[in-house]
Amino acid sequence: MHAIGVDIGGTKIAAGVVDENGKILAQTRRDTEPDDVASIDAAVADVYAELSKEFEVEAMGLAAAGFVSPDRTSVLFAPNIAWREYPLADKVRALIGDDDVKIVVENDANAAGWAEFQFGAGRDASDMLMLTVGTGLGGAIIVDRKLVRGRWGVAAEVGHMRVVPGGHYCGCGHEGCWEQYASGSALVRDGQAALIAQPDRAAALLELAGGDASKLNGPQITQAAQDGDELAIELLATLGRWIGEGAASVTALLDPELIVIGGGVGAAGDLLLQPVRKAFADQLSARGHRPEAQIDLAQQGNEAGIVGAADLARS
Amino acid sequence: MHAIGVDIGGTKIAAGVVDENGKILAQTRRDTEPDDVASIDAAVADVYAELSKEFEVEAMGLAAAGFVSPDRTSVLFAPNIAWREYPLADKVRALIGDDDVKIVVENDANAAGWAEFQFGAGRDASDMLMLTVGTGLGGAIIVDRKLVRGRWGVAAEVGHMRVVPGGHYCGCGHEGCWEQYASGSALVRDGQAALIAQPDRAAALLELAGGDASKLNGPQITQAAQDGDELAIELLATLGRWIGEGAASVTALLDPELIVIGGGVGAAGDLLLQPVRKAFADQLSARGHRPEAQIDLAQQGNEAGIVGAADLARS
Amino acid sequence: MHAIGVDIGGTKIAAGVVDENGKILAQTRRDTEPDDVASIDAAVADVYAELSKEFEVEAMGLAAAGFVSPDRTSVLFAPNIAWREYPLADKVRALIGDDDVKIVVENDANAAGWAEFQFGAGRDASDMLMLTVGTGLGGAIIVDRKLVRGRWGVAAEVGHMRVVPGGHYCGCGHEGCWEQYASGSALVRDGQAALIAQPDRAAALLELAGGDASKLNGPQITQAAQDGDELAIELLATLGRWIGEGAASVTALLDPELIVIGGGVGAAGDLLLQPVRKAFADQLSARGHRPEAQIDLAQQGNEAGIVGAADLARS
Amino acid sequence: MHAIGVDIGGTKIAAGVVDENGKILAQTRRDTEPDDVASIDAAVADVYAELSKEFEVEAMGLAAAGFVSPDRTSVLFAPNIAWREYPLADKVRALIGDDDVKIVVENDANAAGWAEFQFGAGRDASDMLMLTVGTGLGGAIIVDRKLVRGRWGVAAEVGHMRVVPGGHYCGCGHEGCWEQYASGSALVRDGQAALIAQPDRAAALLELAGGDASKLNGPQITQAAQDGDELAIELLATLGRWIGEGAASVTALLDPELIVIGGGVGAAGDLLLQPVRKAFADQLSARGHRPEAQIDLAQQGNEAGIVGAADLARS
């Protein structure tokens, strides 16, 4: 059975028809306006119309960057889109005018994690932790082959586990959230700080940034590290250490067999993965008395949200 | 249907016949020897024989303080009993000589948490975090009405989530584990330190401890706090703060609707609960955009392990 | 004997004639351009000309916000003025054309601390720690009645003692510097975060800020606290705790008899001082076996830099 | 002029005649009883009698492990000897019966640091920080060629600067004191923890400890590191990192030109020094805009207390 997956971002939506093996058969896109929620409803209905013309679909999953209600019909709150207690599924259904198609709303990180679990690095696993290391740190938790949504649909906000009391401020208003240490933003912030604090070691990074610390970005740090720059290697190792140490804390709670690292930083490969694995092993409780989770890079790409949302709508 | 629950400690086992409402119909005990695992098998068989004489039982749950295999038949490792990859269920069955009774091994904290979930503070909840604040910090995690055991049966080791990098050493060999801040031991250790560091404020506590800092214990601190001693109130507030802040981190991951505080420190009542709730609220991510978990004291007493093991064996 | 003190800021200089009792007999000002160091030289020469017309002066002290050479003639580096290895005393002398007047350059925080020590809260002390809690955290250290300048003139950068590993980033490129916890900026940042994280408690603060979190400032928090707002009181208490705990660390090193708190936050009075004193006492090492430093508010106002620079030039 | 230096430990005193170049001309020892302070007085008088027979001495310095009064005549408090507000100089003088010899009491760490400053690694310096990394972390501070004693003689308790809020408990009753991270005890504790937490990497260390984690000691870790054991090298690097990072904090306050590392861990040589220097440089505020302190090993041996006490008595 085919299903449509729609990944709704702030300024555009990407949609696709997905088969039961997680394969995308057709794709389309629309631009949207984050402050105009009705325009998003219309765009979703529009891609549905387009894609359902050619393919027979029985379900549609909407991956939304926000808190999703436990019954998977509404978005309670979204940081970047003007949804507040918004009945997204009903709104879209009204536009579609088809009562038979099943419409399901899912958190976007959950959808992407589910795609990884079903069709990617986690396809042989039963218990998995997905960590998406991007601007922030998102994630998804799979326990006994089921996605953990929590009582109110807000589970797996892994980036807001506190790892340093009195630590860096987070946009959420708290200090020391994991995503302030284990994200691409943290990597860049650490790199920019190193340009100030360790100018003697930072020549290569500064050059890559065109001489302007504020222009330094993650791919430049990865590039420098791959070219052997010691400071850049250290920066990736620090990022990896925080990912691995935090993952060990989550593992104390959930005992997954697999931890998947997604997001752009994956491009650093072993320069990131090895510090992650070492820190995880160093920090894992009861080591030697338990099997240890494997840590791998994600295999699904940017379409993971589409694939996961479609699959979750179907199941 | 009745089931037997057996709580196996280091030096004694406590067993009972439990009905479907979590009521204990009969109880018995045996002394055991932690280094002689065969003696434990025999004692379990013995209580089974005693209790099954009077009651018809179809299952027996064994609550064990150790890592339990995912198939719930063996203890992989126990810190205080000489079990190493030990097929406890099979050993007991061989002694019982009854192939029909279902025998299930469960981690003791999981069993106690399950009793709380089924018959205690959590009986109306679907997602619950149990925190047992005793010598250490144990726990149980219920997601969508199911006990989370993890891939290898080692989940819910909540006490080993790291809360302070570079923090207090834990018996597990790591620094900063939650149980070093949120346990009765932490309360006593903090109290003893205060006797040294703040002698001017510690007169009442020192007197309760008979003038000997090393004799100070948790009930004395609770007593002093209830009598209005400012330092003791502060010590309980610090304990409560660490419980609440850690619970907020777990909530970022799991979004429970209920957090239950068990263990001896519950005797402090509101002197503990209020700081827990304040710290939880202060530290909860996305507050104001999500419903908030309730935090309550446990209702099940010392027999929770018996009740939970019996019920988990039955289900 | 009279001396002139000049406090050189980024955009203006303030100067005065100071007598031996620290009294300012006359004052004047000039606007300056931070990127044009010659204009600053000229302005200093100009105020000298003006003030020395009416008063007989034998020395002039220049308080500069930067690193001052050990021989007190040059500014090695300044964050906000374009001085780099700049021979400030010689430049000014060349313009003045008077070889007899003694010209001395001092770090501005050192100058202000010295004024406090000689004529303010510290006039009866021999060992004092001055903490100026403003945008950042500046300070001065007096050991055995002498100002501690350090081997290269860079001592008393108290704000850059690290108090939280992995803590808030500092403009200096490091994490966890004391001034990120013990400054007016930290107070405001914490207040803004509380508006996000604890919206239910923040109504009064939000109203004082005109409904715009980014407009919240320190005087508003102090105002709210004085009006009894619980969150504002808590914010000042947190600020005070960090000041007091850090001061206890400095005291372990230097054993001062007096710690003076200067800067705008002093307006909060006991709402700040009491938490400072409690945290200092709670955190002081070897308490009960040593006398304890007194903690007081500064008595010198905005002219402390002028007074201190003049006095240091004279002595 | 010759002076006698006496280093008073818990169970023995070591004394020597020291010339103006810090050379010991003669030495002697006595056993003492820490709970019997009069026996210590007598032993000191006795070594004075012995040493002053052959050498003309005009002063005697007594290095005491405790808090010394600012007038350098009494011990206010000592953790390991029964001195409480004890007029040590007067007591000794009464036994000696010589009013002409100058008797001075000094803190033992200050005395040792002074020897290093006058005759050892610091002989060309004006501002020095001495760190004695032993069971604890002791130290001495030299500012502008003078020993910093503080207002009440209790300065330079460097080991009790807090470096980790919520960190390891210290015998002083506080958490996170520097000496819990930068001492031989910390090294051993970290090593023992690694034996538990990282059993797979700890084989060599465990063997050196005779298979018993509780027997692991510092020299064994140093030995293993020198033999190339990766875990041991990491343990020394962690110790070095904490020393260097803390030293950077002290440097923000005092701007020394030289930091001297003394104590048994010096045997590790570059395996310790290199991580100290890297961490110091990485953490130093305003790096690149200031000269940087040199970091060297101590040159004075176990007699530093004798030499320093004698020299301080003379000066």
Mutation target vs A (from C157, C160, C162, C164; most A CBs, 10 A cutoff): C164
- Show pLDDT as tens, one digit a residue, over chain D (315 residues): 899 999 998 789 999 999 999 999 999 999 998 889 999 999 999 999 999 999 999 999 999 999 999 999 999 999 889 999 999 999 999 999 888 999 999 999 999 999 999 999 999 999 999 999 999 999 999 999 999 999 999 999 999 999 999 999 998 999 999 999 999 999 999 999 999 998 889 999 999 999 999 999 999 999 999 999 999 999 999 999 999 999 999 999 999 999 999 999 999 999 999 999 999 999 998 888 889 999 999 999 899 999 999 999 997
The pLDDT tens digits of the residues spanning C180-231 come to 999 999 999 999 999 999 888 999 999 999 999 999 999 999 999 999 999 9
> Å from C190 to nearest chain A CA?
8
Whether residues C199 and B281 touch (CB distance < 8 A) is answered with no
**Residues of chain B whose C-beta is under 8 A from some C-beta in D?**
164-169, 171-176, 181, 189, 193-198
Mutation target vs C (from D67, D71, D107, D249; most C CBs, 10 A cutoff): D249
Mutation target vs A (from C181, C187, C196; most A CBs, 10 A cutoff): C196
Q: Which residue of D has its CA nearest to C131?
A: D253
What pTM value is reported for the model? Answer: 0.94
Nearest CB among C126, C174, C252 relative to D161 is that of C252
ipTM over 0.90: yes
- Cβ–Cβ < 8 Å for D116, D299: yes
Whether residues D152 and C76 touch (CB distance < 8 A) is answered with no
Nearest CB among A174, A175, A193 relative to C173 is that of A193
- Please list every residue in chain D whose beta carbon sits closer than 8 Å to the beta carbon of residue A200: 287-288
User: What is the C-alpha to C-alpha distance for residues C309 and C110, in angstroms, rounded to an integer?
Assistant: 8
Q: B200 — alpha (psi -120 to 50), left (phi > 0) or beta?
A: alpha
Counting one residue from B and one from C, how many pairs have CB atoms under 8 Å apart?
A: 21
Mutation target vs A (from B254, B284, B292; most A CBs, 10 A cutoff): B254
What are the angstrom distances between the C-alpha of A142 and each of A18, A129, A245, D140? 21, 6, 19, 56
DSSP A212-241: -GGG--HHHHHHHHHTT-HHHHHHHHHHHH
Q: Which residue of B has its CA nearest to A130?
A: B253
By DSSP bridging, strand C12-18 and strand C2-8 are antiparallel
Counting one residue from B and one from D, how many pairs have CB atoms under 8 Å apart?
A: 51
User: What is the C-alpha to C-alpha distance for residues C8 and A290, in angstroms, rounded to an integer?
Assistant: 65
Q: Show Cβ contacts of residue B303 under 8 Å, excluding neighbours closer than 6 positions.
A: B7, B14, B16, B24, B27, B115
Phi, psi of C64 (to 5 degrees): -125, 135
The pLDDT tens digits of the residues spanning D99-120 come to 899 999 999 999 999 999 999 9
Max intra-chain CA distance, chain D: 66
Look at residue B142 and tell me whether its pLDDT is greater than 90: yes
Which subunits have 3 or more CB–CB pairs within 8 Å of chain A?
Answer: B, C, D
Mutation target vs A (from D278, D283, D287; most A CBs, 10 A cutoff): D287
- Cβ–Cβ < 8 Å for A65, A105: no
Kindly tell me the sign of the dihedral angle through the C-alpha atoms of C113, C118, C123, C124. Answer: positive
Burial classification of residue A250, based on how many CB atoms lie within 10 Å of its CB (0-12 exposed, 13-18 middle, 19 or more buried):
buried
Nearest CB among C198, C282, C287 relative to B282 is that of C198
- Cβ–Cβ < 8 Å for D177, D162: yes
User: What is the C-alpha to C-alpha distance for residues A167 and A174, in angstroms, rounded to an integer?
Assistant: 9
> Å from A242 to nearest chain C CA?
11
The pLDDT tens digits of the residues spanning A167-213 come to 999 989 999 999 999 999 999 999 999 999 988 899 999 999 999 99
Q: Which domains does chain D have, with CATH numbers?
A: 2-115+303-314 (3.30.420.40), 123-297 (3.30.420.40)
Name the H helices within C87-217: 88-96, 108-119, 184-197, 203-208
- Please list every residue in chain C whose beta carbon sits closer than 8 Å to the beta carbon of residue A167: 164, 166-168
Whether residues A288 and D199 touch (CB distance < 8 A) is answered with yes
Whether residues B286 and A172 touch (CB distance < 8 A) is answered with yes
User: What is the C-alpha to C-alpha distance for residues D126 and D117, in angstroms, rounded to an integer?
Assistant: 8
User: Closest Cα partner for B275 from B246, B254, B315?
Assistant: B246
Look at residue B58 and tell me whether its pLDDT is greater than 90: yes
User: Closest Cα partner for A63 from A307, A301, A315?
Assistant: A307
Phi, psi of C177 (to 5 degrees): -60, 145
Burial A104-131, CB ≥16 within 10 A → b, else e: bbbbbbbbbbbbbbbbbbbeebbbbbbb
Nearest CB among A127, A159, A253 relative to B250 is that of A253
- The DSSP H or E segment spanning D128 is strand D128-133
Whether residues A169 and C195 touch (CB distance < 8 A) is answered with no
- Please list every residue in chain B whose beta carbon sits closer than 8 Å to the beta carbon of residue A82: none
> Å from C103 to nearest chain D CA?
22
The pLDDT tens digits of the residues spanning A119-134 come to 999 999 999 999 999 9
Whether residues A175 and C168 touch (CB distance < 8 A) is answered with yes
Look at residue C288 and tell me whether its pLDDT is greater than 90: no
Whether residues B287 and C198 touch (CB distance < 8 A) is answered with yes
User: Closest Cα partner for A310 from A99, A127, A54, A52?
Assistant: A52
Nearest CB among A198, A281, A282 relative to D282 is that of A198
- Cβ–Cβ < 8 Å for A218, A208: no
Q: Which residue of C has its CA nearest to A192?
A: C173
The tokens 């400690």 sit on which residue? B9
> Å from C263 to nearest chain B CA?
29
Name the H helices within chain C: 37-54, 88-96, 108-119, 184-197, 203-208, 218-226, 230-254, 270-283, 304-314
- Please list every residue in chain D whose beta carbon sits closer than 8 Å to the beta carbon of residue A290: none
Strand partners, D59: D3, D102
Q: Which residue of D has its CA nearest to A200?
A: D288
